[in-house]
A and B are shown apart, each in its own frame.
Chain A
Amino acid sequence: MRLRPKFLTGMLLLVVLPVVMMGVLFYLAFSDLIEQKAATYFRLALRDADRMLAYAMNEINSVTDLAITQDAVQALLKAPPQWISNEQARELNSYIMTHPKVTSFSLYNNERLVYRTNFSSVDVSYEELVRSDAYLKAVQRNGRPLWLAPGENEWSRSRAGEIVILRKIKEFHTLRDIGTLLVTVKADLLEQVFWEASVDGEILLVNGKGQIVYSKSGLRVGEMLEPSVREALQAQGEKDYVIRPFAEESSFIAYLSTTQNEWVMMAVTPESRLFQEVKLVRNLAVAIVMFLLLTAYLFEKLFISRLVFKILKTVKGLRQVEEGRFKELTESHKSDDEADLLVRGFNRMTRQIRDLIAQVEKEQRQKKEAEMQALIAQINPHFIYNSLESINSLAVLQGNRDISRMVVSLGKLLRISISENKELIPLEMELEHVRHYMRIQKYRFEDKFEYELELPAHLKPVMTQKLIIQPIVENALYHAIEPMSGKGLIRVCVADQGRDVLIRVCDNGAGFDAETLEKLDRLPCRKKTDSGVGLANVHDRLRIRFGPRYGVLVCSAPGHGTTVQIRIPKLLEPAVERGEEA
């Protein structure tokens, strides 16, 4: 994996993920806590309200309980008179109307209306009553009171609405139904309970059908609950609250079945109000998470990204160095951490390598130039040629052919060794040079030695470093032939060996042992003039020019002469020409 995606993955996995998760968990835990707290609060508040409601209802229930068991009431229903006297009416009223919230009541037997207080806002005929759903329910209640809140009784004509209590009356001894009691109660009975309840928001009473029968605010009485709320109420088994839209606003709805009737009491609070704190915490969590992410991003940008950038830069630089381009990287001036040290170190290294290479190149160039200068510094070759030509003419005029030949050879020798500017020359020319050298030496040594030169015709154009055979031959002459008492022989032969060409210089001199050779090798003086170092000189030059594969090999044993072998590559003229020009 590359560095950058690695850091990115690490960042995502170890920083972004935990931070976001922490924020989300924090928020969820807190909102859950708030929700639970709200649920507990509303549960207790609703229970409280229910207790107060039960108390208020029980008060009135006790009144009617007492009334319907009274002999006067029982007798009236069992044998209803044609009309009721004021006295009777006063007695009846005294049983029920004593409660301050009761506004009116009606008594029915099993056939008709028997008695009704004056000014009742509910005047239901017996037939009407029996046909109603409420009556059926009251029958099912089996003598216990059925409470109808303002929203669910269809009889009340008062604008504020009234509570209607309906209950069947049983005969004292036989417990058979002998009549029905209808009581109207002021709606502010409920109002009082709800206003005293410790719930700020809306409180509803809902009957079994999902109809709103009473509301603290007075709104929506008689309407049905939203279907989604009704469904939620039915579906929820254990929970005592739901969060559903109520009156087009998502609300927290706590509910409790009342102990006295089949009503459900509901406290409705808009979620937005209840969860104000949650929203605050959510915003805080989001802000903290954002801030942490921002700091993480900054950390990435300021440190990691810069570090990675520097490493990548250095790697790129290294690749360039591998390709042979020494380019320095831009350095930052301000910070000086390890990454900067890396870049700086890389630059220093690059600089050093570049300088070294430049130095080597410069030194080589200087060396070549020095050599050239040395050559140029020699006596003007033309002057020497002319002089030699004059000597030659003199010798010819005087009839001395030996001098003439010697001078010609000398001239040729000089031409090759001095005036030829090229480093590489054909083997043919090199051997020519050796031949002239031999010829001159022959005059000097007066037939003390013979020489043989062998060059196969196809090897003639092979290019070679110039002046490599002559020093060897010179060596042989001075160290092998000169000390000899008899006649010496120097043989130069050239052989083809695949890619290479071998030039062997053999003599029949005294030869030498390994120790002498080593001594020769270790001689400190390496001046050009010293013929002893000619060997080493040739060897070095060949190695520099052609590579470590090439050079000089010396074979010798005392009494068996010496053979020096020169190995050069088989280079042909055109290629070499080009190489020279380049």
Chain B
Amino acid sequence: MKPARFVSVRYVLLALYLAAIVWLIADGYQVYSGEERHADAAKATLTFRHFWLQEYNLPVERIVTELIEAFEEQYPQYKIDFEGLDQTIHREQKLKSEMVTGTQPDIMALFGGAEIEPYVRAKRLLDLTDWLKETGLFERFKDLQLWTVDV
């Protein structure tokens, strides 16, 4: 009985030793292959220009502000640069220049109809048709006529 136990202890030790070697090699290999450490991706900033500055527009502004806060909480990699501008300056001058040079904001308040036609034709606006259909939002709008442009 006794010699048998001795032998088994020896084999256990040997097995442990071999396991340690295998573990070390595996570990070393892992260190060597070096998993990527890219945690510091830069924050993306999206610009959002609105013209809800007047008293009667403040509720809209508040709703959107809350939406933005919720969004930023859900997607911490994005920062929304929410800025208000006088409606006339925005629509008549600034946005038009920006549309020429292609430096328009990512998101902006607009009026539908004829005003957006040149922007769409110059491909300055994003076509949301597919996205609306995908998300089922398309059905929930009463009328999208003013926001529809045939190209």
How many angstroms from the CA of A69 to the CA of B101 in the assembled complex? Answer: 8
Q: Out of A21, A36, A65, which one reaches B97, CB within 8 Å?
A: A65
Is A148's CB within 8 Å of the partner chain B? no
Size category of the binding interface on chain B: 20 to 34
Name the B residues within 8 Å of A238 (CB-CB). Answer: 36, 38
- Cβ–Cβ contact B28 & A28, under 8 A: yes
Q: Out of B31, B38, B42, B124, which one reaches A175, CB within 8 Å?
A: B124
Q: How far is the CB of A508 from chain B (nearest CB, A)?
A: 69
- Cβ–Cβ contact A142 & B122, under 8 A: yes
Name the B residues within 8 Å of A176 (CB-CB). Answer: 118, 121-122
Size category of the binding interface on chain A: 20 to 34
Q: Which of B21, B99, B102 has the most CB of A within 10 A?
A: B102
- Cβ–Cβ contact A29 & B31, under 8 A: yes
Is B25's CB within 8 Å of the partner chain A? yes
Q: How far is the CB of B90 from chain A (nearest CB, A)?
A: 15
- Cβ–Cβ contact A17 & B21, under 8 A: yes
Query: What does the 1/0 interface line of A59-72 toward B look like (CB < 8 Å)?
Result: 00000110011000
Is B103's CB within 8 Å of the partner chain A? yes
Q: How far is the CB of A242 from chain B (nearest CB, A)?
A: 13
Q: Given A21-B25, A65-B97, answer yes or no on A144-B36 (Cβ-Cβ < 8 Å).
A: no
- Cβ–Cβ contact A172 & B36, under 8 A: no
Name the B residues within 8 Å of A144 (CB-CB). Answer: 101-103
Q: How far is the CB of B62 from chain A (nearest CB, A)?
A: 33
Q: Out of A32, A68, A171, A174, which one reaches B32, CB within 8 Å?
A: A32
In chain A, residues 172-207, which have Cβ atoms closer than 8 Å to a Cβ of chain B? 172-176
How many angstroms from the CA of A331 to the CA of B24 in the assembled complex? Answer: 46
Q: Which of B28, B101, B118, B122 has the most CB of A within 10 A?
A: B101
Is B34's CB within 8 Å of the partner chain A? yes
Query: What does the 1/0 interface line of B106-143 toward A look like (CB < 8 Å)?
Result: 00000000000011011110000000000000000000
How many angstroms from the CA of A174 to the CA of B122 in the assembled complex? Answer: 9
Q: Given A17-B21, A21-B21, A35-B34, answer yes or no on A68-B100 (Cβ-Cβ < 8 Å).
A: yes
Name the B residues within 8 Å of A175 (CB-CB). Answer: 99-100, 118-119, 121-122, 124
Q: Given A36-B34, A175-B121, answer yes or no on A24-B97 (Cβ-Cβ < 8 Å).
A: no
In chain A, residues 505-556, which have Cβ atoms closer than 8 Å to a Cβ of chain B? none
Q: How far is the CB of A96 from chain B (nearest CB, A)?
A: 14
- Cβ–Cβ contact B123 & A29, under 8 A: no
> Which 4 A-B pairs have CB atoms at the shortest separation, nearest pair first?
A175-B122, A144-B102, A65-B101, A25-B28
Interface, chain A (partner B; CB < 8 A): 13-14, 17-18, 21, 24-25, 28-29, 32, 35-36, 47, 64-65, 68-69, 141-144, 169-176, 238-240
